[in-house]
């Protein structure tokens, strides 16, 4: 059954509507290419185990964050004193701004919107370093460092891989970046998507953060594990910075479901590694399929999504509305992302059968085989 859709649902300041909101309006069968996730993890066995324990998970308080951090540190091979746990990486971004951004922060754009929106909301100066489309949104670290020094920014942010383009900087370059900015108040490396990198075996600089005085690294369980609803992120830094963050975070800021997943992860670590291999293969196949769609430019990515640009007459909002209304395919249109325009879409990497549905809908538009009608609200 096909459903229609009121496009007003997309008029949000920075984010697309939730999967639940769209599902309530459209019914079942929605394929989500919008929210970055891992389609292969958790496994069905993990979900079954969570289901068997759901009553106790929902009924009882979680452990204190110290016990959960100890378990996570054991799994990661890290000192728990270098880990601060939070209710999603957004909570950490909020407190990083409040604790350490006193005057100004440098941020490349386009990037994850909270890195610009959060400090702007609290009256800070945001020094935005534009990533040029002509260079494939590649970040020139030397130019970024020069920009930071010229602007006098006291805090600098780097997302690696970057969201929404998936651009990746080698670990040695990120370490050099940290060395260059050792005099700043803080340097933040957001590694929410780093587990999806395949071109380098150990891409993270988390261990570097634990021995440096002014570096924090952010991680996101939801993006890596495909569990956005759990709302779990963590920060890695030296013990002094971690104590400052832990003292500011609310008590009981983690839920029992997040704790359950963390304590299950050791038993499913191999399945997680296999999921990353599968996703890497899907990313290559999906990029190849999209590259054959007329009037579509595909940017290289090391994340679990691909940035594409519509180069013909059809804009991103029209494509989004057609895919949702006619094919029940949900994509991220990027007109509200600083540094991009309405000609860009971010497409999450999904299995082949879902990609075929996406490509069929996109080809219908770019090849002119569609009706340019406006959907109406479902009552």
224 shares its domain with 321: no
Q: Region 272-291: what's the mean pLDDT?
A: 97
Number of separate domains in the chain: 2
> Is 379 inside any structural domain?
no
pLDDT in the model for residue 6: 54
> Looking at the predicted structure, is the pLDDT value of residue 234 above 50?
yes
Kindly tell me the number of DSSP H helices and DSSP E strands found in the chain. Answer: 15, 13
Query: Percent of the chain having pLDDT more than 90?
Result: 80
pLDDT digits (tens, 9 = 90+) for 75-121: 999 999 999 999 999 999 999 999 999 999 999 999 999 999 999 99
pLDDT digits (tens, 9 = 90+) for 169-212: 999 999 999 999 999 999 999 999 999 999 999 999 999 999 99
Domain holding 277: CATH number?
3.90.1150.10
In the beta sheet, which residues pair with residue 128?
107
Q: Which two tokens stand for residue 274?
A: 């296999």
Cα distances from 34 to residues 253, 320, 348, in angstroms, run: 27, 10, 6
Q: Region 66-82: what's the mean pLDDT?
A: 94
249 shares its domain with 121: yes
pLDDT in the model for residue 374: 45
Query: Percent of the chain having pLDDT more than 70?
Result: 90
Q: Region 295-311: what's the mean pLDDT?
A: 97
> Is 38 inside any structural domain?
yes
Cα distances from 140 to residues 64, 147, 177, 205, 283, in angstroms, run: 42, 11, 11, 18, 25
In the beta sheet, which residues pair with residue 310?
296
Please identify, among 254, 286, 317, the residue that sits at the C-terminal boundary of a domain: 254
84 shares its domain with 32: no
Please identify, among 254, 285, 314, the residue that sits at the C-terminal boundary of a domain: 254
- Rounded mean pLDDT of the chain? 91
pTM score, whole prediction: 0.91
Long-range Cβ contacts of 142-149 (<8 Å, 24+ apart) = 144/106, 144/108, 144/177, 145/177, 145/180, 145/181, 147/106, 148/106, 148/181, 148/184
Range of the domain at 192: 63-254
> Looking at the predicted structure, is the pLDDT value of residue 282 above 80?
yes
């Amino acid at each position: 059954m096909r459903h229609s859709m009121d496009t007003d649902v997309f008029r949000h300041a920075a984010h697309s509507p939730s999967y639940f909101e769209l599902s309530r309006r459209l019914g079942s069968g929605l394929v989500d290419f919008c929210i970055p996730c891992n389609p292969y993890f958790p496994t069905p066995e993990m979900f079954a185990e969570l289901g068997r324990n759901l009553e106790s998970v929902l009924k009882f308080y979680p452990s204190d964050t110290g016990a959960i951090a100890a378990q996570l540190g054991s799994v990661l091979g890290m000192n728990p004193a270098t880990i601060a746990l939070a209710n999603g990486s957004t909570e950490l971004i909020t407190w990083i701004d409040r604790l350490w951004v006193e005057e100004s922060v440098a941020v490349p754009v386009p990037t994850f919107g909270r890195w610009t929106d959060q400090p702007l909301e609290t009256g800070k100066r945001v020094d935005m370093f534009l990533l040029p489309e002509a260079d494939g949104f590649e970040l020139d670290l030397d130019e970024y460092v020069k920009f930071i020094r010229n602007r006098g920014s006291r805090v600098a942010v780097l997302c690696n891989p970057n969201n929404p383009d998936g651009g990746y900087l080698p670990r040695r370059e990120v370490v050099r970046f940290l060395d260059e900015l050792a005099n700043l108040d803080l340097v933040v490396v957001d590694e929410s998507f780093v587990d999806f990198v395949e071109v380098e075996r150990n891409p993270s600089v988390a261990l570097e953060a634990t021995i440096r005085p002014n570096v924090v690294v952010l991680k996101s369980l939801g993006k890596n594990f495909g569990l956005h609803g759990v709302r779990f992120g963590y920060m890695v830094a030296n013990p002094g910075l971690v104590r400052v963050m832990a003292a500011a975070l609310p008590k009981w800021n983690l839920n029992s479901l997040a704790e359950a997943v963390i304590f299950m992860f050791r038993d499913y670590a191999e399945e997680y590694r296999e999921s990353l291999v599968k996703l890497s293969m899907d990313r290559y196949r999906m990029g190849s399929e999209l590259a054959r769609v007329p009037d579509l430019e595909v940017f290289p990515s090391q994340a679990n999504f691909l940035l594409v640009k519509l180069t013909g007459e059809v804009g991103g909002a029209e494509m989004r509305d057609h895919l949702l209304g006619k094919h029940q395919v949900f994509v991220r249109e990027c007109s509200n992302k600083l540094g991009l325009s309405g000609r860009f879409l971010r497409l999450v990497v999904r299995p082949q059968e879902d990609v075929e549905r996406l490509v069929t809908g996109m080809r219908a538009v770019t090849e002119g085989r569609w009706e340019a009608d406006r959907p109406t609200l479902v009552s």
